[in-house]
């Protein structure tokens, strides 16, 4: 425990340093260099051919923490806030070997061994494929390079969706249970039946999935002119209900979120995803299920040999899980979270923390006071379950 308080004192000593600016033109390389941190790039090829970029803030030989971003985000989300409360920077300064994943289809992982980026085949994926291919490949590469047997995983939003799915797979889940020492889940997304996300509820209510698929076959929400075109398109087809895409429309904000933090995050957010990914989440809003993609009766028979899309079975997961939920999270409602915890093995849940007033993005853009609440809990858990 004495070491824990010394660690917090060490991390807080950086709090008063000025944060280097972040703009859409700022590269991650130049940003971390301004913080006197080295950035490594490692390319990972999945078994289905997607080429992913994983960033590393190296502390060789030290315990490894792998950070997996949420929906529409990239590895930027872990370092964008003020360095004194950006989890990736805080963990690196605390002596951890920090790895930052990037799922297929975001700004850093737009490549494939054979499929052209501007093809429907490239964008034919959801978080299901991120679970079965991306996460296992990135974790394997991380452990191979570091020479470690296991690591700690901290995931946000969709990063948890894919981890729940991966842990439910009989083969992948067994392997991950040996590779992941502790899984800290920030705003874990599974069920969404009671979600109040403006974007997803509008997509669901107006049945926009097919329209979006036809208009944007090569991915959406990638920033720049493409984002402006999408905003105009959605404004028109929703009759003015959705005229500007922003963080609060997607997942809400709270008084614990800072304007500066939001500005720094949105310099590289949204970072892109497939329309099918959004459509998959839409299906969870339509009914209380956590299931594979629903192709309709005929499509399901062809894909799964069943008329109904199969549910993900998370009852057998064997990964130690610490839950971090926000009391003002528009995307992850407490009722949906309870649905998940009723299925997840109780003996594997080592913490279940609720932070009143936190939004879905407070972890990434919150104030110093907010970070003191949850960031210290993260550090304490990592020490408590030290590798």
In this predicted model, what pLDDT tens digit does every residue of 341-363 receive, in sequence order?
999 999 999 999 999 999 999 99
In this predicted model, what pLDDT tens digit does every residue of 43-54 receive, in sequence order?
999 999 999 999
What local confidence, expressed as pLDDT, does residue 272 receive? 78
Lowest mean pLDDT among 75-84, 193-202, 208-217: 208-217
pLDDT level of residue 207 (50, 70, 90 thresholds): low
Lowest mean pLDDT among 212-221, 325-334, 360-369, 372-381: 212-221
What local confidence, expressed as pLDDT, does residue 227 receive? 43
Question: Average pLDDT in the 187-195 region?
Answer: 93
Flag whether pLDDT at 246 surpasses 60. no
Question: Average pLDDT in the 215-219 region?
Answer: 52
Dihedral sign for Cα atoms in the order 271, 273, 279, 284: negative
pLDDT level of residue 3 (50, 70, 90 thresholds): very low
N-to-C CA span, the chain: 16
pLDDT level of residue 181 (50, 70, 90 thresholds): very high
Flag whether pLDDT at 177 surpasses 50. yes
What percent of the chain has pLDDT above 90? 67
The residues near 74 (Cβ < 8 Å, ≥ 6 apart) are 102, 106, 107, 108, 268, 269, 271
Give the separation between CA 320 and CA 66, rounded to whole angstroms.
15
Q: Name 90's bridge partners.
A: none
Closest C-alpha among 184, 193, 189 to residue 353: 184
262 vs 12 pLDDT, higher one = 262
What percent of the chain has pLDDT above 70? 81
The residues near 164 (Cβ < 8 Å, ≥ 6 apart) are 131, 188, 190, 290, 312, 314, 317, 340
What local confidence, expressed as pLDDT, does residue 239 receive? 44
In this predicted model, what pLDDT tens digit does every residue of 305-347 receive, in sequence order?
999 999 999 998 999 999 999 999 988 999 999 999 999 999 9
In this predicted model, what pLDDT tens digit does every residue of 93-115 receive, in sequence order?
999 999 999 999 999 999 999 99
The tokens for 330 are: 């528009």
**Which strands form 180-186's sheet, in the order they lie side by side?**
40-45, 51-57, 97-100, 64-68, 151-156, 180-186, 321-326, 349-355
Question: Average pLDDT in the 50-64 region?
Answer: 98
Output b/e per residue, 257-295; b: 16+ Cβ within 10 A: bbeebbebbbbbbbbbbbbbbbbbbbbbbeeebbebbbe
Flag whether pLDDT at 381 surpasses 70. yes
Give the separation between CA 283 and CA 121, rounded to whole angstroms.
21
The tokens for 257 are: 């979120």
Q: What is the chain's mean pLDDT, rounded?
A: 86
């Amino acid at each position: 425990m004495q070491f824990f308080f010394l660690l917090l004192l060490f991390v807080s000593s950086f709090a008063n340093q000025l944060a280097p600016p972040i703009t859409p033109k700022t590269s991650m390389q130049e940003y971390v260099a301004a913080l006197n941190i080295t950035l490594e790039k490692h390319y990972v090829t999945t078994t289905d051919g997607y080429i992913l970029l994983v960033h590393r803030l190296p502390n060789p030989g030290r315990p490894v923490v792998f950070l997996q971003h949420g929906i529409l985000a990239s590895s930027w989300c872990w370092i964008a806030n003020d360095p004194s409360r950006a989890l990736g920077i805080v963990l690196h300064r605390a002596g951890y070997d920090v790895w930052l994943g990037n799922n297929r289809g975001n700004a850093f992982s737009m490549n494939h061994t054979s499929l052209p980026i501007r093809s429907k085949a490239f964008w034919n994926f959801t978080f299901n494929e991120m679970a079965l291919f991306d996460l296992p490949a990135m974790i394997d590469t991380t452990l191979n390079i570091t020479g470690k047997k296991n690591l700690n995983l901290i995931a946000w939003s969709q990063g948890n969706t894919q981890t729940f799915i991966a842990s439910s797979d009989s083969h992948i889940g067994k392997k991950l249970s040996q590779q992941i020492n502790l899984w800290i889940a920030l705003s874990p997304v599974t069920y969404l039946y009671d979600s109040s996300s403006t974007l997803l509820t509008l997509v669901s209510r107006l049945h926009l999935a097919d329209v979006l698929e036809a208009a944007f076959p090569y991915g959406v929400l990638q920033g720049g002119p493409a984002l402006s075109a999408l905003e105009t398109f959605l404004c028109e087809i929703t009759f003015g209900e959705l005229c500007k895409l922003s963080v609060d429309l997607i997942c809400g904000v709270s008084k614990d979120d800072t304007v500066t933090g939001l500005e720094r995050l949105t310099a590289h957010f949204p970072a892109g995803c497939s329309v099918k990914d959004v459509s998959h989440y839409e299906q969870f809003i339509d009914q209380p299920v956590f299931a594979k993609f629903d192709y309709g009766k005929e499509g399901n028979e062809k894909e799964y040999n069943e008329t109904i899309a199969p549910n993900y079975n998370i009852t057998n997961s064997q990964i130690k899980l610490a839950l971090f939920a926000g009391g003002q999270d528009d995307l992850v409602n407490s009722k949906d979270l309870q649905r998940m915890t009723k299925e997840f093995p109780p003996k594997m849940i080592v913490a279940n923390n609720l932070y009143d007033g936190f939004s879905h993005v407070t972890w990434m853009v919150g104030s110093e006071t907010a970070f003191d609440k949850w960031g210290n809990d993260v550090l304490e858990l990592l020490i408590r379950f030290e590798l």
